[in-house]
Amino acid sequence: MATTVNIIVGSHVWVEDRDTAWVDGEVTKVNGEKIEVQTTSGKKVVANLSNVYPKDTEAPPAGVDDMTKLSYLHEPGVLQNLATRYELNEIYTYTGNILIAVNPFRRLPHLYDTHMMEQYKGATFGELSPHVFAVADAAYRAMINEGKSNSILVSGESGAGKTETTKMLMRYLAYMGGRAATEGRTVEQQVLESNPVLEAFGNAKTVRNNNSSRFGKFVELQFDKTGRISGAAVRTYLLERSRVCQLSDPERNYHCFYLLCAAPPEDIKRYKLGNPKSFHYLNQTNCYELDGVSDAEEYLNTRKAMDIVGISPEEQDSIFRVVAAILHLGNINFTKGKEVDSSMPKDDKSRFHLEMAAELLMCNVQGLENALCKRVMVTREETIIKSLDPDAATTNRDALAKTIYSRMFDWIVEKINNSIGQDPDSKNLIGVLDIYGFESFKANSFEQFCINFTNEKLQQHFNQHVFKMEQEEYTKEEINWSYIEFVDNQDVLDLIEKKPGGIIALLDEACMFPKSTHETFTQKLYQTFNNHKRFSKPKLSRTDFTIVHYAGDVTYQADLFLDKNKDYVVAEHQDLLNASKCPFVAGLFPPLPEESSKSSKFSSIGTRFKQQLQSLMETLSSTEPHYIRCVKPNNILKPAIFENQNVIQQLRCGGVLEAIRISCAGYPTRRTFDEFLDRFGLLAPEVLEGNYDEMTACEKLLEKKGLKGFQIGKTKVFLRAGQMAELDARRAEVISNAAKVIQRQIRTYIARKEFVALRKAATHLQTLWRGKLARKLYEEIKREAAAIKIQKNVRGYHARKTYTKLRLSAIVVQAALRAMAARNEFRFRKQTKAAIIIQAQWRGHRSYSYYKSMKRAGLSVQCAWRSKVARKELRKLKMAARETGALKEAKDKLEKKVEELTWRLQLEKRLRTDLEEAKAQDIAKLQLSLQAMQVQLDEANATLVKEREAARKAIEDAPPVIKEMPVVVVDTEKVDLLTNENEELKTLLKSQEKRADEAERKCAEVQELSEERLKKMEEAESKIDQLQESFQRLEEKLSNLESENQVLRQQALVMSPTKGLSGRSKTAVIQRSPENGHLLNGEIKATADLQSPVPALKDAAEAEQRPQKALNDRQQENQDALIKCIMQDIGFSGGRPVAASIIYKSLFHWRSFEAERTNVFDRIIQIIGSAIEENNDVLAYWLSNTSTLLLLLQRTLKASGAAGMTPQRRRSSSATLFGRMAQGFRTSPSGTGLSFSNGGMIGGLDALRQIEAKYPALLFKQQLTAYVEKIYGMIRDNLKKEISPLLGLCIQAPRTSRASLVRGSARSHANAAAQQALIGHWQSIVKSLSNFLKTLRANYVPPFLVRKVYTQIFSFINVQLFNSLLLRRECCSFSNGEYVKAGLAELEHWCYEATEEYVGTAWDELKHIRQAVGFLVIHQKPKKSLDEITHDLCPVLSIQQLYRISTMYWDDKYGTHSVAPDVIASMRVLMTEDSNNALSNSFLLDDDSSIPFSVDDISKSMNQIDLSEIEPPPLIRQNSAFNFLLPRAE
């Protein structure tokens, strides 16, 4: 597959690496056939051109989902693609129609849920992301459409996930072909549950896998003509019997042994079991438990699965008895007996296990000991009993254990098949093959030989299938092709199975000779196949041989070949177990034919296996095969580790690389015309400018470049190996030249830009320097002016300071004199005020004490009286509570709660009032004290002024010399005294100010507290309102339940077989007068009639029968006329449905709602049902009529019995506090908004009332509700079916853009056609929505229902588009995002035109697809952080959804990249955390198909309907019995 052309310096290539298999790098030097490569790991490698592969530098960062889409289909390209996808948790990849599944070693539940199966149901293969469900669906569709059986072959080495993949396949096929369980267990349930049973007895832990299947399994699912599973069969191949007795560390024996040791204590006691370490068959290794697996739980699950597949409890008990017996057999050790070469149980422990084995197998203990220690040889003359030495006895014991286990496993498989049953009439089947993969260990024995023989057979079948697919591809594209050679492994198959002379034939021959050994067998092989190219002899071994398989050389050790190939039962074992008292054990060893019962009959396991394999190949050849290759990414069984060497070896063993080699032998590179021109169109621009179609343009481009050997198909270009690399090299050269031109222009631009910037910088520097000089000069002038200004201000300051000091001295003297008089006055007023305050406090205390005593006395009297009244009411309520039951208790609880809330509300109000009064009093007191202080201060100031004036006058009048010294002394003392008093007054004033501030602070706190309490009061009031509403609803429900109970009791009385009551029922039929339809007096006197004798009842019945019959006949004629009328489309009147109006008015007038028996409701329901079933066009018409009629019934009818409560009960309900509140809050019935203008009902609040409906009316209302929901669902589903095919076309843009590149002069026309094609599908959806809305509006469907319909439709559009986007990688592109965004804009414009009245918030339902598309079309995604993406761009999308979009994104328009790798890593971490915490982390959305409204919603959302002016149709207008429908004047 390597290419030696077009490898130049700078080329990106793959070279071999010892550690990672392949490493990429860039060629730095080319020297003939040698090249030097600088790898990405930092090393320099010299390699031959023949060992180098070109690398596709334009490969998508997330890989491709089908490896045939790779530009270079070679080994390193395949490996890199698998590794890239595995890193993104994309574990499935196609190679043509072959699915490669890489084991993730973790649970991915979102990939296998029911919703995912629904997505792949019916999808075209390859349309969605690769998945095991896609393969299963393809097989199922091929079987249904073509009528041919299919098979799915699952292969891979141990630990690759074959068993889990098989489970998923069978789950999907059961989902597609399953049916509801009618009689117990279904076939698909039994098939699925057979897996855990077979795993328990046929799987074990190996070095490579914790749950390795040690047998091959082919499950045939049989289908009937309708595609339903009708039968199944499980076929098994080559169970590894030697594992029962021989183990190697760290492997385990079969799971069932450990499950039984972890069984419940009673089972362990019954079978005398214990710790697995105590049994020889289990303690040969140190591994007894599996990580994350509970053997006790698995034991119970296995028991349940055995129940489902049809194994009875007795048979289960027998099976586990045999398993326990095998464990006890393994603990029987032997020692030398008394005779020569004899043996016997070693000790008491061995004797105990011998007895337990015999007890469990229900056979004779001595017989079991003889069968193990002796051998009977039958000759012609006599029968010889030969003793066995201890080693031979041990071998005999192991042979017995293996035989019992093998036959028990075969019995389980046969039992499963018999329980499931096969369909003899089935002609189609789907087979699922889960078989061991190619094995090569250090020691390979007979099991590996058979396993690899099976894989050789399957590989030949696989190669033929791949070659056939290649031929079909070439034939489909109608290209010329010649025969392609591929490796045929028929010579290896001949080496193994050819007769005579094959290895199996020679092995059988050696087994037939008693003296043959493994040495003689291998020598025979060396002689026979000495010159065979597929067979060789190791140099240092005499008993080993090597076979060259397709996947590599395997050396086999022939030491145990002869023993493992012999399948015979020792006659002693056969006789002993056939005589067992356990029917199950005896059934495992049925009697042998007489001629074979005398000795051990040899049977070759190899030959039988070859025959089974031949039968399997014939079955596979008769079916259409599908292949799944499972790959184990690492040997340590850990997630997120991808070992290249390990995967490459598995790809070789699985034949994937061989399939690629076959593909490369023909035309490995295939590109559609538009993809080819998109990538290589720049090599010949003139071809694109010419007026050529795509096929011609591709051919001319290839011819211009001189390529030969290519082929042009109908839709694709086929290139030979190496031609893609040559075109890429020329493309890289053209791009390189263009890059050089761009670089030259950019460098010129950068140089000129730098020069201009430098010149501009110099000019700017000069400007700055000149400005600096100017600023310096200005600063000097400014400092000089500032100094002068400072001097002036300083001199002024000194002058003012001297004047101020002198003035203050004079003021101090004046203040001292004035303070003297002020203090005296202040002292007097202070004493007076204190006395007044003391008097006021005492009088208030006396009055308040008297008030509190009176209040307590009043409260005591009130409480005593209220408790007396409450006890009376309580007794009445208890009597009423016995009838109401649980609802009454809820009502009482609500009453208590409302009373408590009311009490709390009153308490809050009282506290608020008291608080406000206290606050007002405190504020008033503080204001009074503040005013008093202010008055005192003013008086003190005035007194001080007067004293200063008097002192000044005294100083002026006094002689200056004589009284100078005394005045100075007196004034000094007064000044000191006044100064001290002034300080005290200041201190007092400050304290008063502090008190005022404290009072203001407390006032503010009190105000805040009052506001908080006000809020709490408002919340309490709102809660009270809610409780009142809920109480009202509960009261209504209670009354409805009571009335329904009363109706049912009445119905029971009516249906009573008593003759007296039956006679009364005839006369108690509702009797109406023909004029107004009111009840006659006969109904009122019903109670009195019941008390009269029986003859009187008969006379009354005969007297009333004649007029009643006439009345019934007339009523029947009126009903027939009504039914005949509403069967027609009688339209609408003023936007109101006429049919609903006529039905309601007629039923109301006839008082049918109050009738005990009537059939008019059933007839109306039948008319509606037949109309909507026959014609979908009338769905909108009947939705309008039924919803309107339901609204009228909801607002008018009430259950009978609600008004029949006794007055005493009504008074009692309103006598309590809660009753009075409920009565005050209760509003008038909503039905009073209906108005009629006829004799029966006149509009007005006084005349209208709710009707007490009987049972038929209530049943009619329920049926009508069901039909409203059914019609709504039918309308919604019809619209979904109409737009569903269009949505599949709207998620991916039509590929018409290439036409503009290849049409030349017709480009403008192509662009117009492309734009029209782009928007056409969306316009079709908009057209469907508009037509649908037009129909609904024409039929006056209530806008509330229209909004609900469109909300669910837009939700359906959101789910379909978003799920398709996540499942199809080609949709996660930039250009496709623009296309979908343009289509969503069309929907948004339609929503705007349709108005919010009919669409509502339907546009918001598209939030997932809108945000996903918005994420696709934003630029610079690598610069966006995870926080910006999750909170700003896509807040609605989950991490799983964002991760999938980010990894699948590709830009076919601008070549931009997805988000940064660190963001991807953060998403992966969050996904891992979510997967550990959540039960399911599916990234797909679910469609909600429920009914999104209730009757109450309709009643609340629809406006009141005026039925007064609706004209009846002509059919009943002429009927005088319907005159009440005619409108009348006021």
Just list the catalytic residues. 158-159, 163, 209, 212-213, 437, 439
Q: Are strands 711-712 and 1132-1133 parallel, antiparallel or unpaired?
A: unpaired
Contact (Cβ atoms closer than 8 angstroms) between residue 556 and residue 444? yes
Which residue bears the tokens 């469609």? 1487
First-to-final CA distance of the chain: 99
720 sits in which H/E element: none
Residue 195 exposure: Cα atoms within 13 Å on the Cβ side: 20
Contact (Cβ atoms closer than 8 angstroms) between residue 432 and residue 222? no
1486 sits in which H/E element: none
For residue 384, the one-letter residue type is I
How many angstroms separate the CA atoms of 112 and 526, rounded? Answer: 52
Maximum CA pair distance of the chain? 181
Contact (Cβ atoms closer than 8 angstroms) between residue 346 and residue 280? no
How many angstroms separate the CA atoms of 102 and 81, rounded? Answer: 12
How many angstroms separate the CA atoms of 504 and 526, rounded? Answer: 14
Phi, psi at 841, each rounded to 5°: -65, -40
How many angstroms separate the CA atoms of 577 and 372, rounded? Answer: 12
Burial category of 424 from C-beta neighbours within 10 Å (exposed 0-12, middle 13-18, buried 19 and up)? exposed
How far are the Cα atoms of 330, 472, 1152 from residue 278, in angstroms, in the given order? Answer: 10, 61, 84
Alpha carbon 1025 to its chain centroid, in Å, reads 39
How many angstroms separate the CA atoms of 211 and 159, rounded? Answer: 8
Which residues, at least 6 apart from 762, have a Cβ–Cβ distance to it below 8 Å? none
Q: Comparing C-alpha atoms, which of 91, 253, 96 is closest to residue 165?
A: 91
Alpha carbon 266 to its chain centroid, in Å, reads 41
* Long-range CB contacts (within 8 A, 24+) of 1004-1011: 1006/915, 1006/918, 1006/919, 1007/919, 1009/915, 1010/912, 1010/915, 1010/916, 1010/919
How far are the Cα atoms of 529, 1038, 1187, 1261, 1501 from residue 1494, in angstroms, in the given order? Answer: 84, 20, 11, 13, 11
* Count of C-beta atoms within a 10 Å radius of residue 1501: 15
Phi, psi at 1284, each rounded to 5°: -60, -45
DSSP assignment of 672-705 equals EHHHHHHHHGGG-HHHHHSS--HHHHHHHHHHHT
For residue 774, the one-letter residue type is A
How many angstroms separate the CA atoms of 1027 and 28, rounded? Answer: 84
Q: Are strands 1251-1253 and 1197-1199 parallel, antiparallel or unpaired?
A: parallel
How far are the Cα atoms of 362, 517, 1031 from residue 205, in angstroms, in the given order? Answer: 31, 32, 65
* Count of C-beta atoms within a 10 Å radius of residue 840: 10
Which residues, at least 6 apart from 1096, have a Cβ–Cβ distance to it below 8 Å? 1089
Instruction: State the alpha helices, DSSP H only, in 1175-1235.
Output: 1179-1196, 1207-1215, 1217-1225
Peptide bond into 583 cis (omega under 30): no
